[in-house]
Copies of this chain bind each other. A is one copy, B any other.
Amino acid sequence: MSTATLKDLSKLCIHTITTKPWSLEQAIEKYSKKGIKGISVWRQWLEEKGPVASGKLLREAGLDVVSLVRGGFFPGRSAEERQKAVDENKKAIDEAAAIGAPAVVLVCGALPGQPLTESRKQITEGIASILNHAANASVKLSIEPLHPMYADERSAVNTVKQANDICDILNSPLVGVAVDVYHVWWDPELHREIKRCGESGYLFAFHICDWMTPTKDLLNDRGLMGEGCINIKGIRGWVEEAGFTGYNEVEIFSNRWWEKDQDEFLEAIVNGYLQHS
């Protein structure tokens, strides 16, 4: 794996949750001042001003909105629950359109005790049933495989292979994959499945962060690029070989970093991005 060093910030995108203490306005201001071009917006950040006014702010700042995060959570114990999820996903698609996000990231969902095979079926059906809505809004859907440690209640889709397989079944130019190094770095089939993902036209998004040793919390102890053990450069190389030319999205959930001064964190993100991504 040999990969060219990142020389500037032209492909850097940050998820609003990465700098969780900042409001949408603060994030827009701080990212812009730093020369960051891309932003992925979590839905909670649209609650204050609503999607339309938030979209206006984002456009005026000249930021590229890369993704709306997140839809998904399709599995449900009853048809009513699953319909509720479908409705919520349509709402997410509308929000994405309002802020100019070309895609919604899908954390597909799982229910403790429900067979994973059943959840995967419900996920596939759930995505299928929002495809028309997505087409009308010109919004794409990015299936994000989640680390197997989230298979109990967050996602029954845990490898790029599984995400590719669902894309094959749905066979729509609107459905693709978001590859997040945190979730997939351990996978012995990663290189092959990233290649397949790119060749099939499914490679919609690429997320970066790092895996801490030890990891103290299953959810909120992600590392900044360079702090952990993931070969981010190598995986970025595979993604680029597979034809990906989009943003490198920094998505870090970290109680440790959220407690610190967020300006310092943003500085560290830029450094970690240029040196270790």
Contact = CB atoms under 8 A, between A and B. Distances in A.
Given A213-B112, A231-B115, A186 B153 contact: no
B113 A229 contact: yes
B147 A213 contact: no
A215 B149 contact: yes
A233 to B, nearest CB: 12
Interface string A81-116: 000000000000000000000000000000011011
B159 A213 contact: no
A262 interface: no
A116 B112 CA distance: 30
A73 to B, nearest CB: 15
A124 to B, nearest CB: 13
A122 B147 CA distance: 25
A218 interface: yes
A211 B150 CA distance: 11
B186 A148 contact: yes
A187 interface: yes
A116 B186 contact: yes
Interface of A: 112-113, 115-116, 120, 147-149, 151-153, 158-159, 161-162, 185-188, 211, 213-216, 218, 228-229, 231
